[in-house]
Amino acid sequence: KNKLNTQYLGREILYLEEVDSTNNVAKDYGKQKGNHGLLVIAEKQNAGKGRLGRSWNSPKGSGIWMSFVLKADIEPQNSPMLTLITALAVNGAIRKITGLETAIKWPNDVILNGKKTCGILTEMTAAADRQECIIIGIGINVSQEEFPEELKEKATSLWLEGKRPVSREELISEILNQFELYYKKFCLTESMEVLKEEYDAQLIHLRKQVRIVENNMEYEGIALGIDEGGALLVQVEQTNQGITTTFVKTVLSGEISVRGL
């Protein structure tokens, strides 16, 4: 059963058995023709990518490894917010289809029982007509029974947590449906203004102690939620010569770790 009811997203699908990275394939297509809404799906990735040169484990048939192309009219500097929009769509779709209680870990993870079940990678490239082309990559662990040694502690799959089979087709359709709706809302202001509240409600670390690692700097504070630009606001206490001051720090990028996770 196909429940896809999008206008443009996933109306054109490129399905491949094996690729290096669906983001790379989508980028090549986007560059040449800028196919707005083109979806690339693979059964297996040999060189799945994470952020900052990290790799993404994508074994055959056990996950959703997909990327789509947006021929975007938005300002390039606003594109990192699309990662947040995508997290909203993925989190909402997984909850709806599986009933599992996933949560968002800012900026690009979906977490289930303390472990990562989805990662998102947003990239940008200039298309032949120079219009900005955005690639959104989504990796979701669906049916893995186990993970390689180095991921055991931090990764999980929908099967491992729910013990029920999940239809990838159904989940993909729901993600695309939800993304299109969120994207439409986002484009009204090109900010998280209208989605901020909904996003914060799904944050795993809202009002909790978090540790931020940013360019070799580390600090701790209480996560207050995101601002309109998609940055994470963290309330930090600092004691200097016996005087404690509290201020709100705006975290733009960086690695965020949540205590106790």
Q: Which residues pair with 210 in a beta bridge?
A: 221, 258
We find the least distance from the C-beta atom of residue 155 to ligand BT5, in angstroms, to be 3
Q: How far apart are CA 28 and CA 14, in angstroms?
A: 12
Q: What token pair was written down for 136?
A: 């959104």
Which residue's Cβ lies closest to ligand BT5? 119
Q: Which residues pair with 236 in a beta bridge?
A: 247
Dihedral sign, Cα of residue 74, residue 194, residue 4, residue 6: negative
List, in order, residues 6 or more apart from 195 with CB less than 8 Å away: 84, 85, 88, 182, 185, 186
- C-beta closer to ligand BT5: residue 151 or 181: 151
Q: How many CB atoms lie under 10 A from the CB of residue 35?
A: 21
Q: Which of 24, 160, 185, 28 is CA-nearest to residue 92?
A: 185
- C-beta closer to ligand BT5: residue 47 or 194: 47
We find the least distance from the C-beta atom of residue 46 to ligand BT5, in angstroms, to be 10
* Site of tokens 């606001």: 233
We find the least distance from the C-beta atom of residue 205 to ligand BT5, in angstroms, to be 15
We find the least distance from the C-beta atom of residue 109 to ligand BT5, in angstroms, to be 6
Q: Which of 81, 177, 206, 99 is CA-nearest to residue 136?
A: 81
- C-beta closer to ligand BT5: residue 28 or 197: 28
We find the least distance from the C-beta atom of residue 65 to ligand BT5, in angstroms, to be 4
- C-beta closer to ligand BT5: residue 154 or 235: 154
Q: How far apart are CA 156 and CA 130, in angstroms?
A: 40
List, in order, residues 6 or more apart from 225 with CB less than 8 Å away: 196, 199, 200, 203, 206, 232, 233
Q: How far apart are CA 82 and CA 230, in angstroms?
A: 9
- C-beta closer to ligand BT5: residue 122 or 178: 122
Q: Which of 183, 115, 193, 187 is CA-nearest to residue 154?
A: 115
- What share of residues in the chain are helix, strand, coil (percent, to 5)? 25, 35, 40
Question: What residues line the site for ligand BT5 (CB under 6 A)?
Answer: 21-23, 45, 48-52, 54, 56-58, 65-67, 108, 116, 119-121, 137-139, 141, 151, 155
- C-beta closer to ligand BT5: residue 236 or 261: 261
We find the least distance from the C-beta atom of residue 218 to ligand BT5, in angstroms, to be 18
- C-beta closer to ligand BT5: residue 34 or 107: 107
We find the least distance from the C-beta atom of residue 189 to ligand BT5, in angstroms, to be 26
